[in-house]
Amino acid sequence: MRAVILLSGGIDSATTLAIARRDGYACLAVSFDYGQRHRYELEAARKVAASLGVVRHAIISFDMRTIGGSALTDDIAVPKGRDETQMGGDIPVTYVPARNTVFLALALAMAEARAADAIVLGINAVDYSGYPDCRPEYLDAFARMATLATKAGVEGRPLEFLAPLVDLSKEAIIRLGLSLGLDYGLTTSCYDPAAGRPCGECDSCRIRAAGFAAAGAADPRLDPTRWR
Amino acid sequence: MRAVILLSGGIDSATTLAIARRDGYACLAVSFDYGQRHRYELEAARKVAASLGVVRHAIISFDMRTIGGSALTDDIAVPKGRDETQMGGDIPVTYVPARNTVFLALALAMAEARAADAIVLGINAVDYSGYPDCRPEYLDAFARMATLATKAGVEGRPLEFLAPLVDLSKEAIIRLGLSLGLDYGLTTSCYDPAAGRPCGECDSCRIRAAGFAAAGAADPRLDPTRWR
């Protein structure tokens, strides 16, 4: 069995890759260089892919800045120091328009070209912080569309879309990854790192810290010897 | 009203843009530079966009060759000299995996970032030459997915997806474009042009020639003074 895995270099996608490897998939990891400010995550994705033994790691470049509209690619300030009550509710300014749809579409192209059986991604509806394209009903609709879009689907071999983290809390995700031997020191989460050092203040750093605290584990990423 | 138009530089997308302009849309044209062999079409798209007065023409670059799998981006020979019975049925080798899904996903990102009301594209199920992602049921499934994917959709302002050519023959498309004053000499169709000169033998050239013949019109693209 062969799977295409969306790999960002963060906790969720790294855990997803570890699960797919545990489940016996030959893994084609795909990462995206889309003009994001946190390009450090591509380096993290490379380390995670190498560490977990993928068949291939493709990095697809495209320029999301041509499209516009998010703090992650434009010059809008990344919000910092928000507590959890401030993170919920509204769609945040860090929302990249249709990002998961673009990523899944490119993963779909790769899955079709390379005859993969599944696409596996780390979306999560529990820590859902206002991104509409992180919900299971979204993924179901994408899968239905994909079956109609592709040669394999039309010929009766629809791709599976697997989201093994969709119902897990960040705590549960981290516990699962640790039980699989995953080195979270290879991963990165910060929206706005400086010289490899997480800022500790953005939503993503805060969610990560709360997850490690709840799991009763130290975050190896906070070890200064692992910054670069 | 504002619309994002997928503009390839061929007959169908140029006619679609002319229809959207007639219908009063301010048009954001988007073209893709994806490593296709027929990059000449990007030059045609620029000419068509300028001729029809778009608000903006974005060219989004990404590398489909990283993904692989088609005669249009790989080194597989483009089939030539096939008659219509040979074109039907099987999915052709010129099929680019999930291409319309990738294009629509990027158009969706642009539509959301720029608050467009509609995405308009020139897919056509009559001249459907085996591409699964040219069928109306595919587009309906994409629209349902897009409503779940986007801020506008979640907030009750779903994008419209318009495919004004979907039920038209190539003859009817050409007649309609001519009635709107469209200069088809700006467009290109050939999969394998040399120095701007259409090969006349690939499926796309043959479909185009049959369409002009049925419409009783000369194809201005065949005027050697318009090659470059």
Q: A35-66: per-residue pLDDT in tens? A: 766 678 899 999 999 999 999 999 888 776 67
**At B137, which CATH number?**
3.40.50.620
pLDDT tens digits along B198-208 = 889 888 899 99
State the DSSP string of A97-150: TTHHHHHHHHHHHHHHHTT-SEEE----SSS--S-GGGSHHHHHHHHHHHHHHS
Residue A75 has pLDDT above 50, yes or no: no
**B65 near B74, Cβ under 8 Å?**
yes
**Interface membership of B95 toward A (CB under 8 Å):** yes
The confidence score (pLDDT) of residue A118 equals 97
Closest partner residue to A149 (CB to CB) among B101, B112, B149 is B101
pLDDT value at position A178? 98
Question: How would residue A95 be classed by pLDDT, with cut points 50, 70 and 90?
Answer: low
The residue among B65 and B43 whose pLDDT is bigger is: B43
Average pLDDT over all residues of chain A: 85
Give yes or no for a contact between A119 and A162, defined as CB atoms under 8 angstroms apart: yes
Q: How many CB pairs under 8 A join A and B?
A: 161
CA B25 vs CA B115, B116, B120: distances in Å: 13, 10, 10
Of A70, A113, A146, the CB nearest to B67: A113
pLDDT at B86: 54
Q: What percent of chain A has pLDDT over 90?
A: 55
| Helical segments of chain A, H only | 11-22, 40-52, 84-87, 99-113, 136-149, 151-154, 170-179, 203-215
As a whole number, mean pLDDT of residues A200-224 equals: 93
* pLDDT tens string A5-31: 999 999 999 999 999 999 999 999 999
Q: Residue B25: is its pLDDT beyond 90? A: yes
| Residue among A146, A121, A138, A135 at smallest CA distance from B101 | A146
Domain span at residue B188 reads: 2-226
3-state secondary structure of B140: helix
pLDDT tier for residue B75 given thresholds of 50, 70 and 90? very low
Per residue in B176-223, pLDDT (tens digit) is 999 999 999 999 988 777 777 888 988 889 999 999 999 999 999 999
pLDDT of A150 strictly over 70: yes
Name the band, by pLDDT with cuts 50, 70 and 90, for residue A71: very low
With beta carbons less than 8 A apart as the criterion, state whether B71 and B80 touch: no
Coil, helix or strand at residue B222:
helix
| Beta-carbon separation of A109 and B100 below 8 A | no
State the Cα angle at B136 between B130 and B139, rounded to 5°: 105
The C-alpha atoms of residue B78 and residue A52 are separated, in whole angstroms, by: 39
A154/B132 CB distance under 8 A: yes
More confident residue, B167 or B96: B167
The answer to whether the CB of B29 falls within 8 A of the CB of B58 is: yes
The pLDDT, as a whole number, for residue B96 is 66
Percent of chain A at pLDDT exceeding 70: 82
Measure in Å the smallest separation between the Cα of B154 and chain A Cα atoms: 7
Mean local confidence (pLDDT), A108-127: 89
The residue of chain A with its CA nearest to that of B115 is A69
Each residue of B84-128: pLDDT tens digit? 555 544 545 455 678 899 999 999 999 988 889 999 999 987 755
Q: What is the pLDDT of residue B81?
A: 66
| Cβ contact A105–B110 (<8 Å) | no
What average pLDDT is seen over chain B?
85
> Is there a contact between B124 and B165 (Cβ–Cβ < 8 Å)?
yes
> What share of chain B has pLDDT > 90, as a percent?
55
Query: Which DSSP helix (H) or strand (E) runs through A163?
Result: none
> Is some CB atom of chain B closer than 8 A to the CB atom of A218?
no
Q: How far is the C-alpha of A188 from the C-alpha of A198, rounded, in Å?
A: 8
Q: How many domains does chain B have?
A: 1
In sign, the C-alpha dihedral spanning B90, B94, B95, B101 is negative
- Residues in A touching B62 (Cβ below 8 Å): 60-63, 106
Distance from the Cα of B94 to chain A's closest Cα (Å) equals 12
* Residue A139 at interface with chain B, using a CB cutoff of 8 Å: no
- Least confident range of A5-14, B59-68, B139-148: B59-68
* Predicted pLDDT of residue B85: 53
What is chain B's percent helix, strand, coil content, to nearest 5? 45, 15, 45
Nearest CA distance, B116 vs chain A (angstrom): 12
What is the identity of the amino acid at B103? Answer: F
Q: What is the mean pLDDT of the segment spanning A213-219?
A: 97
Judged by CB atoms closer than 8 Å, whether chains meet at A68 and B114 is answered as yes
Average pLDDT over residues A166-184: 96
Q: Which residues pair with B60 in a beta bridge?
A: B32
Average pLDDT (B43-47) is 94
The band of B54, judged by pLDDT with boundaries at 50, 70 and 90, is very high
Which residue has better confidence, A87 or B135? B135
